Amino acid sequence: MAFPQEFLIGAATAAHQVEGNNINSDYWLQEHLPHSSFTEPSGEACDHYHRYEEDIKLLAAAGLNAYRFSIEWARIEPEEGKFDETEVEHYRDVIRCCKANGVEPIVTLLHFTSPAWLIRKGGWEAESTIEYFRRYAAYVTEKLGGELNYICTINEANMGLQLAAIARRFTLMAQQAAKAKSAEGTVQVGMNFEKMMENMKFAAIENAQAFGTPQPQIFVSSRTPEGDALVFRAHQAAKEVIKALYPNIKVGITLSMHDLQALPGGESFAEAAWDEEFKHYLPFVADDDFLGVQNYTRTQYGTAGQLPCPEGAELTQMDYEFYPEALEHVIRRVHEDFKGDLIVTENGVAVSDDSRRVEFIRRALAGVESCVKDGIPVKGYMYWSLMDNFEWQKGFSMTFGLIAVDRATQMRTPKESLAFLGTYTK
C-alpha cells in the first residue's frame, strides 16, 4: 500500500451538480432565465437525492474510504429564517449511509449555490451574508455535528477573484476579436463566456426580475476585493461557531489552485498570480485544521503574461491541458507557506476515454505519494467526481466521473477508473 492506513481515498460531488431539483437556489433561477448562459438546466441531475445509497455503495465496494459531498443551503433554509427539519434528516441519512459502508463523510457547507433569497439580499458582496452564513453553519452543526469529523466551510473561496481576472482577460480578448472560446480553458470550472457576452444585454433585465437587481452577486460572480475578504470572514465566522459546538470537528476551506509556472521572463506574472490565488489568503486560514487543495491543470507565464497551452498538448474536454503533475507542484508550493494538514479535496479530469482518467489518477497520486514520503502532511485525496454530472454552465457533456450515468434512465455504470482508484486503499 502506497499510503498510510488512515489516508483518505475518496471521491467528491456537490449537491447542485448531482442531487436534482434544487429549486430554491440561485442557480435554478439563472438556469431558467429566457437568455440563460447555461447550456441546459440541471433538472433532476443524477437524482442523487434519491439514489445516494446506490452511489455510496458503489464507491465503497470499489475500496474508497471517503466521500466528500455538500449540504445544500437552499434546501435547509429555503426561505430566510425558515429551516427545514426534513432536509436535515435527509443529510443525516446520507452521513449514516457513508458510515454504514465504512466511508468517512467530508461535508461542504457551501459549494457555489446559495438560496435565491440570499442573493436578493445582496448576496456575496453584502455584509449581512456573513451573519446569514454563520447562522446556517450553526444550525447544520447543531443538528449533524455529532456525526461529523470533517467540515469544509466554503468550496473554492477564491473563485470570485479568478473569475474577475478571467473577465478582464476575456473582455480584452473580445476587443481584440481574438478567439474568445480559448479563455474558458483558463479557469478550473465550467463557464460559457462567449454565451455570457452574447446574453449580456438581456441578462440585466431578466436578472432584475428574478433577483431584484440587474447584477446579482452569486457566489460565482466576479468579486471586488471587499467581497473577496467577505467570503473569508464568512468562513471564519462559520468556523468559530462549529468549533464552539464541536471542538473536535476538523474545519477547513478549499481553494482552486493552478500550478503556476514561469518561463524565463514570466516570473513576476506567476508570482502575482500566486499571490492572488493563494498567498494573500494566508492570514484568514493560518489556524485552520486543514486546507483543501483543488487542482486540475497548470498555467504558464512568459514575458507578456499568461501563455496558451503548449503546442501539441493533450487537452481535456474542458479545453485545458492534461497535466496531472500539477497537483504535486501545487501541494509542494502550498506547503512552503501553509504548514498545517492538507487534503486534496478535488483533482480530476474530463475525458471520454476512461483509460486517460486512469493514467491521470496514476500520475497525480504518484505525486501525492512523493509529497507524503517527504513528510508533507497530506491526509487525503478526493477525485472529482464520483459520477458524471452537471458541470455548471457547460451542462452534462463534460465527463469527469468515475461512474457513468445514463441521462435517460439514471442507470449507473462504474468505470474502470473507479476500481483503479480503489486499489490505493488495498
Residue 332 CB, nearest distance to ligand BGC (Å)?
21
Residue 63: count other Cβ atoms within 10 Å of its Cβ. Answer: 17
In the complex with ligand BGC, the residue whose CB is nearer, 17 or 36, is 17
- Residue position matching grid coordinates 441521462: 407
Nearer to ligand BGC, 110 or 230 (CB): 110
Taking the complex as a whole, the smallest distance from the CB of residue 214 to ligand BGC amounts, in Å, to: 26
Q: Which of 77, 104, 156, 328 is catalytic?
A: 156
Q: How far is the CB of 259 from ligand BGC (least distance, A)?
A: 15
Question: How far, in whole angstroms, is CA 358 from its chain's centroid?
Answer: 21
Cα separation values, 370 from 225, 338, 365, Å = 36, 18, 8
Q: Report in angstroms how near the CB of residue 31 gets to ligand BGC at its nearest.
A: 15
CB of 190 to ligand BGC, least distance (A): 5
CA 173/CA 194 separation, integer angstroms: 11
Helix axes 85-100, 48-61, angle to 10 degrees: 10
Quote the crossing angle between the two packed helices 85-100 and 128-144, to the nearest 10°: 50
Considering beta carbons, is residue 155 or 186 the nearer one to ligand BGC? 155
Residue with cell 492538507: 342
Compute how many other C-beta atoms are within 10 angstroms of the C-beta atom of residue 390. 28
Q: Is 392 left (phi over 0), alpha (psi -120 to 50) or beta?
A: left
40 is catalytic: no
Footprint on this chain of ligand BGC (rule: CB under 6 A): 14, 17, 155-156, 188-190, 256, 346, 384, 391
Query: Alpha-carbon distance 395 to 256, whole Å?
Result: 20
CB of 405 to ligand BGC, least distance (A): 14
- Cβ atoms of 320 and 297 within 8 Å: the answer is yes
Query: b/e for 86-123, b at 16 or more Cβ within 10 A?
Result: ebbebbeebbebbeebebbbbbbbbbbbbbbbbbbbbb
In the bound state, the residue with its beta carbon closest to ligand BGC is 189
Q: Which sequence positions are flagged as catalytic?
A: 156
